[in-house]
Amino acid sequence: MGLFDFLTYDIAIDLGTANTLIIHNDKVVVDAPSIVALDRTTGAFLAVGETAMQMHGKTHDNIRTIRPLKDGVIADFVASEHMIRELIKSIPGLTGRLFAPSLRMVICIPSGITEVEKRAVKDSAEHANAKEVYLIHEPMAAAIGIGVDVLEPKGNMIIDIGGGTTEIAVLALGGIVCDESIKVAGDVFTNDIVYYMRTQHNLSIGERMAEQIKIQIGSAIESLPDGPEDMAVQGRDLLSGKPKSITISYREVARALDKSILRIEDSVMKALANTPPELSADIYNSGIYMAGGGSLLRGLDQRISMKTDLPVYVAEDPLRAVVRGTGIALKNIEKYKTLLMR
């Protein structure tokens, strides 16, 4: 420990397409939707995180909400920088100190992002007073968070289903051996539900209602042993224009999501087919690990397991596996040096 260590502050950030999480001292201190609200006329930022989420879908002409990382790429540099800065500022106990501490951080990024976007993330972090910034790829952080020893000469397969992207990666010796990334994940599931309600029930529903359906009764298979109860869904009748409520079952949701889940299954099969044989042998023995909010969809692990004939394990608290792994990498920077990018 150095003399001036009290002036540095270590944080780990999971910059997700749907949620941004920050860990400091082993504790999750920020867990907020990755969203920014701004004034359309002046361009001024109005809110980030939860407050901005409340406005989402309920905005009028003057307010716009953006999800700067929506599809796993940085759609809006200025907005994402603002969001990163504001979320860092919202860490309890960080602001209002006598000396603003300089930050050391590890940031987890979607593996699809380009060099230019990586640079932009680093710049944003540096503008937020970061002295040392390391980047880590999402599947790697997820694996560490799940408790997999990624440095071992042993293959492991991770599927991370987030908001914007599903990343399927085979890891060994601290590196990514093969990597499939598709833009089919939680957001697409939500849109599938919107589309299904529109075409099957003539009911127009909002994104937030659709997400609620997905979380409350969403399923990847049509016959669950202990399926959730039917759910009442409110929206606007497309024929009469009146507000309307109908009841739907998890089976319908499974039908609505089927095509997208098939696409995820295909990508998993593709990743398995591209895996070198020695690593295939390892995966045969250890199975597949799943993380990310999308892996909470009922029966999804079972479907992937049936498709691949492999055991599938969902991380404990899958929404936080990535930030936990990022936090572990931060705490053991020397150990994980080879897989962190400066």
Instruction: Mark the segment that binds Mg ion (CB under 5 A) among 15-23, 194-202, 208-216, 323-331.
Output: 15-23
Q: Do 236 and 244 form a contact (C-beta atoms < 8 A)?
A: yes
Residue 213 phi, psi (nearest 5): -60, -45
Instruction: Mark the segment that binds ligand ADP (CB under 6 A) among 54-62, 160-168, 240-248, 268-276.
Output: 160-168
- Structure-block tokens of residue 219: 């399923």
CB of 4 to ligand ADP, least distance (A): 34
Kindly calculate the radius of gyration of the chain based on its CA atoms and give it in whole angstroms.
21
By CB under 6 A, tell whether 141 contacts ligand ADP. Answer: no
Identify residues 128-187 at the interface with Mg ion (CB under 5 A). Answer: 162
> x/- binding map, residues 186-205, to ligand ADP, per CB under 6 A?
xx------------------
Q: What CA–CA distance (Å, rounded) separates 340 from 342?
A: 7
By CB under 6 A, tell whether 215 contacts ligand ADP. Answer: yes
Element containing residue 313 per DSSP (H, E): strand 312-314
> x/- binding map, residues 287-326, to ligand ADP, per CB under 6 A?
-----xxx-xx---------------------x-------
Partner touching 272 among Mg ion, ligand ADP, none, CB below 5 to 8 Å by kind: none
- Residues in contact with ligand ADP, counted by CB under 6 A, come to a total of 19
Measured from the CB atom, the residue of 180 and 282 that comes closer to ligand ADP is 180
Element containing residue 257 per DSSP (H, E): helix 250-273
DSSP output for 103-167: EEEEEEE-TT--HHHHHHHHHHHHHTTEEEEEEEEHHHHHHHHHT--TTSSS-EEEEEE-SS-EE
> x/- binding map, residues 16-55, to ligand ADP, per CB under 6 A?
xxxx------------------------------------
Give the closest residue to 15 by CA, choosing from 295, 326, 328, 330: 326
Starting from the edge strand earliest in sequence, which strands make up the sheet with 36-39, in order?
45-48, 36-39, 63-66
Partner touching 49 among ligand ADP, Mg ion, none, CB below 5 to 8 Å by kind: none
CB of 92 to ligand ADP, least distance (A): 21
Give Cα separations from 245 to 65, 143, 215, 217, 274 (angstroms): 27, 42, 18, 16, 47
Residues in touch with ligand ADP (CB under 6 A): 16-19, 162-164, 186-187, 211, 214-215, 218, 292-294, 296-297, 319
Residues in touch with Mg ion (CB under 5 A): 16, 162, 322
